[in-house]
Chains A and B, each alone.
Chain A
């Protein structure tokens, strides 16, 4: 069965960076792109970007364009999402979800930005 398992919760200071991993299993990793979505407390889901797991091409939301980097390691079937220049409002749960339809999601990673 398809599974996406994300790394654990993190606490970061303003201005720092974090990197979340998303390990895929149960399918051929390079067949499907991966999206990254976040949800701040009490807020709507927010699309951050996408990676073509086959060739590594990326597309980022304009909102995060300058601060986000999505990568993948095909040898370990893992996608990574790094966000830099953290602000308090980046406190959120970060999810990976498989394209094209978003039928499979990771369990989410809570990142707290606190001084």
Chain B
């Protein structure tokens, strides 16, 4: 099973600041990594697929990068609605999810 680790566990930032979230895989994923946003009481929402492709309707302030084992989700300027939990997910070998990064208001 491919294990994903995410850092940091919690990110405390203010609206307008830049957020940088990391995800590391236990083996190479090529580019088969996705990022999801989840808010309380809601299903996850796909933001980025295949490492760097924004899903339909996702604002341009969200961007993904990386390949192999190291990946990054960047939110260029946090909006109030961006405070949530973010999960990375691999689909190189079936699916696994990371433990999540909570982006909270500072």
Contact = CB atoms under 8 A, between A and B. Distances in A.
Contacts of A105: 43-45
B94 A102 contact: no
Interface residues of B, number: 22
B44 A101 contact: no
Contact of A102 (B46, B56, B99): B46
A35 B96 CA distance: 12
B43 A106 contact: yes
B28 to A, nearest CB: 19
A97 B55 CA distance: 15
Contact of B36 (A46, A102, A107): A102
Interface residues of A, number: 20
A101 B46 contact: yes
A46 B38 CA distance: 14
B95 A62 contact: no
Contacts of A103: 46, 49, 55-56
A44 B97 contact: yes
A47 interface: yes
A61 interface: yes
B49 A45 contact: no
Interface in B59-101: 87, 89, 91, 94-100
Contacts of A101: 34, 46, 49-50, 55, 91
A44 B91 CA distance: 16
Given A62-B1, A108-B43, A102 B34 contact: yes
Interface of A: 35, 37, 44-47, 50, 59, 61-62, 95, 97, 100-103, 105-108
Closest 7 CB pairs between A and B? A47-B95, A105-B43, A45-B97, A103-B46, A101-B49, A44-B99, A44-B97
